[in-house]
Chains A and B, each alone.
Chain A
Amino acid sequence: MSADNLTRTQRDDLRSIAAMIVPASDEYKVPGADDPAIQADMLATLGRDTKLVAAALDDLARLSGAPLAELDATRRDAVAQEFRKHGGVAAATLVRVVLQCYYRDDRVLGSLGIELRAPFPKGHVLPDGDWSLLDPVKARAGTLRRAP
């Protein structure tokens, strides 16, 4: 199943709920999860999650009774809370899809100070640290329980 199986209404609701989870922020200079590029990433990579995300969006539509974006803020928040509280695996999958696409966006990672690259092949540098911290453990010693 591909993202093409999401209806226009489902896509609209996905965009709306994504913005509720992670809104844009001027303070941190980051887009919201409803940003077009991040939404496009979600739809392009839904893959095996499509079925559960579609189910979650159907559940959301049932709870809201109208496109999410058309509800007033109070009603929208109430629907979102109900959805997250009782939505089970489907809701959790939808939220995870939103977050995993959001937190790999270049602009978002850049704002977090994370380099825009795969871990391999450059890797990372780890400080060796102060191994004198181990001196008290060595001084205390201790014993290994004996076996008969």
Chain B
Amino acid sequence: MKDPVDVLIIGAGASGAAVAWSLAETKMHILCLEQGGWMNPAEYPSTGRDWEAKFYGEWSSSPNVRGRPEDYPINDDNSPIKVVNYNAVGGSTVMYTAHWPRLHPSDFKVRTLDGVADDWPIDYDTLTPFFEENDRIMGTSGLSGDPRSPLTHPPMPQQPLGLSGAIIGKAMNKLGWHWWPSDTTVATMDYEGRARCINLGHCTPACAQGAKSSTDITYWPQAIRAGVELRTHCRVREITTDESGMASGVVYYDKDGIEQFQPAHVVIIACNGVGTPRLLLNSASSRFPNGLANSSGLVGKNLMFHPYAQIYGYVKEPTDSNRAPPTCLWSKEWYDTDPSRGFVRGYGVQFVRGAGPVFEAVVSEQKGILPWGEDHHRVFRKLNGHRLGFSAICEDLPEEHNRVTLDPVLKDSHGIPAPKIDYTISENSRKMMEHALARGREVLETAGATDICINSPIPWGGWHLLGTARMGTDPESSVVNEWGRTHDVKNLFIVDGSIFVTSGGVNPTSTIQALALYIADQMKQRLANLFD
């Protein structure tokens, strides 16, 4: 039998890396088990001529399409939004747009302000120092002083405006609407061992330059130097408990597929809003027949995705196309509740610079704007390199019927039951999406765009996996307490997006990591009585 570790972290992605790094200073024996392996930037898509084709295969954002040994299948047939993720050291920070807004202070008080959903048990100010610390370690770029966003202090200047940004900025100015250069985790100068961005293009599926921050090149090298042990290609099947109802360790399959047991004094789950409820439900036992930490019955429920309402069109001027990071500007014009709009809450907007030639051809043919036959070439030349996009990230409110359960049939390569998603877009979200599409059309038409197309929702847009083990002070209506410890198992913590109470209208990774750092800090402050 293996010696017990002090802290066992499951998952080496955004939150697992942050919590590992923060706890390393305690000098406890910390072990992280990750189902994926280390990435090799020399194999990233942008190193090859066939970079775009790879997005349809082994570099798809969908684990069901990718089907790498490190991935697990997800039954999302009963959802209009499909789950996307990445499984490796770095997790989904390997494959993300690097767009880096934070939740707003008002996002933590939704019930108080708008009478819907629930307030968080913590507030924005509590997280502020952890946002700042995380921005420094992940290495953010941006322009401080956005009047419609929380104040940030990015250590690097913003990305260039580029051709696309200038067209968008002019259109937004004509309409009198807010826009601002996005905070991103793209390095715009050499930073902490990372080379600056050289505009490889569509950097969502990993950055060969290392300019886009991912935790395999930020937190993990530091955490490992500080003594954290990271064991790769180890897939956890279940968390075990002892006779006193405490977590005793985990059962996992090692890189050779051999079942192992790793005892631990503390277990931290960092597996995202789908992987975490899957693991808790797979950890059902005679002591916890409905799944671990599930006395509330809320494990897996209240799944929030952020439905994306995307609209795009084509201008006469050239745009940045695939010659820049995909996102550069945001707008918070419609972020807050305005009762006159007919829905509560709101959405952030991220503007999209363009697309590469293969993606442009494939998608435009599917949309019916790129014909077959003789006229194909003329139309393609009108479209290619001229695209501008407007993507609204609509706040998804928690609803219990949107949930993650265990699929009765589907299993991963180790025979572990796979997650099943049941999700519908709410009426409030639909109204919000319609509003966003109408505003997006105004922006595009003001910019002179034609051939306008819509993706609403973006079907392969389930990047943000939130709410399935929510945080709260009441054990009957939440899974973890206000500092991330499960109500039911006092040495079991959750630090990923599943603990979100509400989703806000922005990309969540910055907030996920700030929460992980905050929870680690709470644990460090309470080491003497962590299990009381």
Residues in A lying within 8 Å of B, measured CB to CB: 20-23, 25, 27-28, 30, 45, 47-49, 80, 84, 92, 95-96, 99-104, 109, 112, 114, 116-131, 133-134, 136-138, 140-148
Contact = CB atoms under 8 A, between A and B. Distances in A.
A87 B105 CA distance: 49
The list of the 8 closest CB pairs from A to B, nearest first, reads A129-B161, A123-B198, A124-B323, A147-B105, A133-B169, A124-B199, A119-B46, A145-B106
Nearest to B329: A134
B156 to A, nearest CB: 14
Contacts of A141: 147
Contacts of B150: 144
Nearest to A141: B147
Interface of B: 44, 46-53, 56-57, 104-106, 108-109, 112-113, 123-124, 143, 145, 147-150, 159-163, 165-166, 169-170, 172-173, 176, 178-181, 197-201, 208-209, 320, 322-324, 335-336, 357-358, 361-362, 365-366, 372-374, 376-377, 381, 384
B162 A99 contact: no
A17 to B, nearest CB: 9
Contact of B357 (A30, A103, A121, A138): A103
B52 A123 contact: no
A20 B201 CA distance: 31
A101 to B, nearest CB: 8
B47 A118 contact: yes
Given A104-B50, A112-B381, A114-B357, A23 B147 contact: no
13 contacts: A23-B374, A25-B374, A99-B361, A103-B358, A118-B47, A119-B200, A129-B166, A136-B176, A137-B147, A137-B179, A137-B180, A144-B147, A147-B105
A117 B323 CA distance: 13
Contacts of B159: 126
Contacts of A49: 56-57
Contact of B104 (A126, A138, A144): A144
Best-surrounded residue of A99, A117, A118 (most CB of chain B within 10 A)? A99
Given A112-B357, A147-B124, A80 B323 contact: no
A47 B51 contact: no
Contacts of B381: 28, 112
Given A120-B47, A133-B166, A147-B105, A104 B373 contact: no
B210 to A, nearest CB: 11
B105 A145 contact: yes
A119 to B, nearest CB: 4
B200 A120 contact: yes
Nearest to B318: A113
A122 B199 CA distance: 9
Nearest to A27: B377
Q: Which of B172, B198, B366 has the most CB of A within 10 A?
A: B198
Contacts of A145: 104-106, 113, 335-336
Contacts of A104: 49-50, 52-53, 358
A22 B320 CA distance: 25
Contacts of B161: 127-131, 133
Contacts of B357: 103, 109, 112, 114
A145 B335 CA distance: 9
Contacts of B209: 120-121, 123
Contact of A100 (B52, B148, B181): B52
A20 B170 CA distance: 40
B113 A120 contact: no
A116 B47 CA distance: 13
A121 B198 CA distance: 8
A126 B162 contact: yes
Contacts of A23: 373-374, 376
B374 A137 contact: no
A142 B177 CA distance: 11
A123 B176 contact: no
Nearest to B211: A123
Contacts of B52: 100, 103-104
B169 A134 contact: yes
B338 to A, nearest CB: 11
Given A21-B372, A99-B361, A131-B161, A126 B199 contact: yes
A89 to B, nearest CB: 11
Contact of B108 (A128, A129, A134, A147): A147
Contact of B147 (A96, A118, A121, A138): A138
